[in-house]
């Protein structure tokens, strides 16, 4: 207990037994507390963790980290801190210092972070004990919680780093001291918050600057802003991409009837063929980034490629292809959206359809600032040029998608508008989607995963799910 208090920068109150052993995990959710755990009482919008101190004591928690000086846990020892998020970061940094022999691989980028994290973690797990978070645990709370899942047997810790302001990634780097930093791309996601793509690049590049001289920066050579980060690296830089200038290069890309890409990977005079279990041409760059991460920790090209072929995306609602009993195919990519990922998803829709009827449910892409209207209009134009048969724009900010379709005289599909998810459900439920391939994609706040799951049930439930 004394070590826990010292790690978070607190002092134990008089009368608390500092020799108490924390044998379990750190929990934010009182419902998940197990004997030996430490509970972090986070004050939230709906529930305040301080209200559950007696409950977690009964469930076996040995201590709680609290920010309310008036909190009482009965016989439960309380460690008082000013900020629970700062305390989590300090505790994670302390744990990181104790993990001898671990290699920390961190991933950032405007799109593809979670998919690449999933694929990299699954690939590395084929070699050594690997820890990575489910979903997008990429902020000041999620990242420390992932670190706290690591044990002395863990050899690879795969982390995702997001940023909403300058300094966010630098702060996360100080907590985990990454050995490998992978930057996928710099797009327009969050441009409304940062102000420009260059400023986003400055923030993403904090990962490269956060690497020690012996660290390895794995950078996308096909993205100019990302490639330019090589000047910010103090150690080795390994580039990947489809263009000839990349050190780790993908060539001869093909898509099969599931939309899974196969491609040759060339590195240092060697060449192997890889088939990914992930949908869309854009996954090739993610796959190359995974192999780059493996090379950076000393795994051979041949071994990395073989392990990657078995890897799958575990996080939900990311290009999740669901084939239904009724013949419709639903691509649930409703977790998030920005112009780059939306473009990639539309191309994947057409590839998966292979000539079948297509329907794109395009929801609002948020946090684009003054670029929002033009970005949505461009997505409408792209959907039309790709020959998508039906487009449903969801949310007022997505209305310019329809204007983009109107710009194309040659497009002869159907365009519709829905104010929200419920209205879109009314338009689509049982209406012209039998036998079609339907893409559902939007920023997370719209909750369009409900629509995707409803469509699956409308068409008799899933036959086969591939990620």
Query: Which tens digit of pLDDT belongs to each residue from 283-323?
Result: 999 999 999 999 999 999 999 999 999 999 888 778 889 99
Please give the pLDDT value at position 44. Answer: 78
Residue 44 CB coordination number (10 Å): 9
Q: Which two tokens stand for residue 458?
A: 């409308």
Q: Residue ranges per domain, the chain? A: 2-82, 88-308, 320-466
| Cβ burial 4-13 (10 Å sphere, 16+ → b, else e) | bbebbebebe
Angle between helices 283-296 and 301-308 (to 10 degrees): 140
Higher pLDDT, 66 or 467: 66
Q: Which fold has domain 88-308?
A: 3.40.1190
303: left (phi over 0), alpha (psi -120 to 50) or beta: alpha
As a whole-number percent, the residues of the chain with pLDDT over 70 amount to: 96
Give how far Cα 314 sits from Cα of 122, 278, 345, Å.
9, 10, 18
Cβ-Cβ contacts under 8 Å for 248 (sequence gap 6 or more): 238, 239, 240, 241, 265, 266, 267, 288, 291, 292, 295
| Cβ burial 318-350 (10 Å sphere, 16+ → b, else e) | bbbbbbbebebbbbbbbbbbbbbbbbbbbbbbb
Which backbone phi and psi does 198 adopt, to 5 degrees? -65, -40
Over residues 260-272, mean pLDDT: 96
Please give the pLDDT value at position 14. Answer: 65
pLDDT surpasses 70 at 464 = no
The band of 430, judged by pLDDT with boundaries at 50, 70 and 90, is low
Please give the pLDDT value at position 467. Answer: 40
Q: What is the pTM of this model?
A: 0.85
- Domain 320-466 grouped into CATH 3.90.190.20: yes
Q: Which two tokens stand for residue 256?
A: 């099969």
Which backbone phi and psi does 342 adopt, to 5 degrees? -65, -40
Which backbone phi and psi does 221 adopt, to 5 degrees? -70, -20
Span 2-82 CATH architecture: 3-Layer(aba) Sandwich (3.40)
Over residues 351-380, mean pLDDT: 93
| Cα–Cα dist 278/261, whole Å | 8
Q: Dump pLDDT digits (tens) for 370-385.
A: 889 999 999 999 999 9
Which backbone phi and psi does 303 adopt, to 5 degrees? -65, -40
**CB-based contact 255:269 (threshold 8 Å):** no
Which backbone phi and psi does 108 adopt, to 5 degrees? -140, 170
For residue 441, which of 314, 368, 335 has the smallest C-alpha distance? 335
Residue 162 CB coordination number (10 Å): 23
Q: Dump pLDDT digits (tens) for 77-129.
A: 888 899 999 999 999 999 999 998 999 999 999 888 999 999 999 999 999 99
Q: Dump pLDDT digits (tens) for 219-254.
A: 999 999 999 999 999 999 999 999 888 999 999 999
């Amino acid at each position: 207990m004394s070590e826990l208090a010292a790690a978070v920068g607190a002092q134990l109150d008089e009368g608390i037994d500092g020799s108490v052993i924390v044998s379990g995990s750190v929990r934010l959710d009182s419902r998940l507390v197990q004997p030996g755990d430490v509970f972090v009482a986070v004050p939230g919008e709906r529930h305040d963790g301080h209200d559950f101190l007696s409950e977690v004591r009964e469930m076996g928690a040995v201590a709680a980290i609290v920010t309310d000086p008036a909190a009482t846990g009965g016989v439960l020892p309380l460690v008082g801190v000013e900020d629970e998020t700062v305390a989590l970061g300090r505790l994670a940094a302390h744990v990181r210092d104790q993990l001898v022999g671990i290699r920390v691989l961190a991933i950032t980028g405007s799109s593809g972070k979670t998919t690449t994290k999933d694929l990299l973690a699954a690939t590395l797990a084929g070699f050594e004990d690997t820890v990575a978070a489910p979903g997008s645990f990429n902020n000041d709370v999620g990242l420390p919680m992932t670190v706290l899942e690591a044990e002395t047997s863990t050899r690879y810790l795969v982390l995702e780093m997001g940023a909403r302001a300058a300094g966010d990634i630098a702060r996360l780097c100080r907590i985990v001291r990454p050995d490998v930093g992978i930057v996928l791309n710099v797009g327009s996601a969050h441009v409304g918050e940062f102000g420009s793509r260059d400023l986003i690049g400055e923030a993403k590049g904090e990962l490269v600057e956060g690497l020690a001289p012996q660290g390895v920066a794995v950078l996308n050579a096909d993205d100019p802003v990302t490639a330019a980060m090589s000047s910010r690296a103090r150690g080795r830089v390994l580039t990947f991409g489809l263009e000839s200038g990349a050190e780790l290069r993908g060539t001869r890309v093909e898509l099969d009837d599931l939309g899974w890409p196969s491609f040759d990977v060339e590195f240092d005079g060697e060449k192997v063929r890889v088939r990914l279990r992930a949908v869309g041409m854009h996954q090739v760059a993610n796959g190359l980034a995974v192999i780059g991460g493996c090379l950076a920790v000393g795994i051979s090209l041949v071994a990395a490629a073989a392990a990657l072929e078995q890897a799958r995306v575990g996080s939900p609602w990311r290009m999740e292809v669901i084939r239904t009993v009724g013949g419709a195919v639903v691509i649930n990519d409703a977790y998030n959206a920005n112009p780059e990922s939306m473009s990639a998803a539309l191309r994947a829709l057409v590839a998966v359809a292979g000539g079948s009827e297509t329907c794109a449910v395009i929801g609002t892409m948020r946090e684009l600032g003054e670029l929002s209207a033009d970005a949505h209009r461009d997505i409408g134009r792209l959907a039309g040029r790709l020959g998508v048969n039906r487009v449903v724009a969801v949310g007022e900010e997505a209305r310019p998608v329809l204007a983009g379709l109107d710009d194309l005289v040659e497009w002869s599909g159907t365009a519709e508008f829905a104010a929200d998810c419920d209205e879109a459900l009314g338009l689509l439920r049982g209406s012209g989607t039998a036998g079609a391939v339907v893409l559902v994609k939007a920023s997370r706040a719209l909750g369009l995963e409900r629509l995707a799951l409803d469509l699956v049930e409308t068409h008799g439930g899933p036959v086969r799910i591939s990620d």
